[in-house]
Amino acid sequence: MIAKPSTKTHECDDLNLFINSPDFDHLTDRAKKNALARKRGLEGERSTAHILDRHFYKSTDHALLHDLRIPDGIGGFAQFDHVILSRLSKTAAVIEVKNYRGRLSKNDHNEWLVWYEGRRRPIDIPNPTAQARRQREVLRAWLVTHRHDAAFEKIAAYVIIPPDCSIDRSKVGHDVPIYKADNFITAWTEFGGITNFGKLFSTGVSAASLQSIGRQLAASNVADERTIAEKIGASRSSTMIDATASENEVKEPAIADAVLVEVPADELQPVQKIPEIEPVTVLPDNNIPLSGALTSSKAGQKIEIVPGLFERQLPDGRIAFLAGADEGDRVRLSAACKGLAHWNPRFRNWIAGDEEAAAIREALFRGERMQGGSSNGVQ
């Protein structure tokens, strides 16, 4: 069961559109390198998501979540590339994807290195397993807080690297949970799998309970609402894309070596690719940005659903939900859209299909009724 689908295909499409836009030409060299490194990282995560989806999508014994971002309890967020919840073995697994290209190793001081072909010296990297272990503890805390820790008694932390990256096991060790993407399922099965005989005596939760827990964890996801430019460390003056960003948003620090950028699992969403034109970032009506395409000529009329919240149909048939300038309206819209729609940071709106859009409207109407208000004649 896939409790939270991957957003990486959408993110790759968004980033490719950005890289091919005039805005990209205005970036600094460092920001351009960061963008290209981010693209490689997203492609690696998308490839791993595909492998996991093929293995778990039909299973009722496992819940798979991609691109999860939840509060870490100390004022920040933990970003999970992939999480697997297994009901019969009562286990959970946290998976961190690293898009290294070269030979992964470490020295006698436990300092991690990547040797790249053609380089005389290795590149220092952070301990790749340490980040996965920190994420494991955040997941453990979430399970305890929501009283699901008894359902998932053991939690493992794995690191996945591309198939064309090698591991110096003489230095790294055979017991360190780092695996190539195409070998991961075999390694995971030893931890989270269960035999047919073991299934007969399992005291794990029911399939329905697993589905409920997976949805609850997915609902805890907090979308990263930064623009593409902010995520690659581009300055405000270097591109038009981040012109609508909040002055209070914290920008991601510049990355020293773009080849080794660690890519978080953020929430970008697709916009329709069209021939290169001058970008349009806002509309004249209340400065509310349009999504789906870079121009407004083919988008539907903006309709107010409830006071302060709007929708419009995009050229591809999807629905864009938008909020006005009021912070409270944005919070209300975000609460209704989470888990149903994709956040588009470039134009600061939520994108949904027809069925999801209907559920979002109902949630907004219900919220308005609870407040004693009305919306479009609905009491």
Q: Which residue's structure tokens are 């470490």?
A: 106
Alpha helices in the chain, H assignment, sequence order: 8-19, 22-25, 29-56, 128-145, 169-172, 184-192, 196-200, 207-219, 228-231, 327-337, 354-370
Query: What is the pLDDT at residue 366?
Result: 81
Query: What is the pLDDT at residue 259?
Result: 38
Structure confidence by residue, pLDDT tens digits, 222-245 = 888 777 777 777 754 444 333 333
Give the DSSP per-residue string, 158-170. Answer: EEEE-TTSEE-HH
- Rounded CA separation 94/137 (Å): 10
Residue 22 has pLDDT above 60, yes or no: yes
Closest residue by Cα to residue 310 from 356, 252, 357, 271: 357
Residue 292 has pLDDT above 50, yes or no: no
How many percent of the chain have pLDDT more than 90?
A: 23
197 pLDDT tier (thresholds 50, 70, 90): confident
Residue 18 has pLDDT above 50, yes or no: yes
Greater confidence, 184 or 316? 184
Number of helical (H) and strand (E) elements in the chain, helices listed first: 11, 15
Amino acid identity, position 246: S
Query: What is the pLDDT at residue 252?
Result: 34
Q: What CA–CA distances, in Å, run from 199 to 67, 153, 173?
A: 30, 16, 32
Query: What is the pLDDT at residue 47?
Result: 81
User: What pairing do the DSSP bridges indicate for beta strands 2-4 and 309-313?
Assistant: unpaired
Closest residue by Cα to residue 35 from 366, 268, 359, 284: 268
Residue 134 has pLDDT above 50, yes or no: yes
> Residue 373's CB: how many other CB atoms inside 10 A?
13
The token duo for 328 is: 């409270």
Greater confidence, 18 or 121? 121
Q: Which residue's structure tokens are 């093929």?
A: 54
Crossing angle (nearest 10°) for helices 29-56 and 184-192: 60
Instruction: List the chain domain ranges.
Output: 2-219, 269-379
Greater confidence, 340 or 265? 340
Query: What is the pLDDT at residue 157?
Result: 94
The token duo for 84 is: 């697997």
CB 326 within 8 A of CB 333: no
The token duo for 54 is: 């093929």
Q: Is the pTM of this model over 0.75?
A: no
Amino acid identity, position 165: C
- Rounded CA separation 93/112 (Å): 23
Residue 295 has pLDDT above 80, yes or no: no
Query: What is the pLDDT at residue 298?
Result: 57
Average pLDDT over residues 287-310: 61
Average pLDDT over residues 167-183: 89
Residue 266 CA from chain centroid, whole number: 4
Average pLDDT over residues 189-216: 88
Residue 270 has pLDDT above 90, yes or no: no
Question: What is the SS3 assignment for 44?
Answer: helix
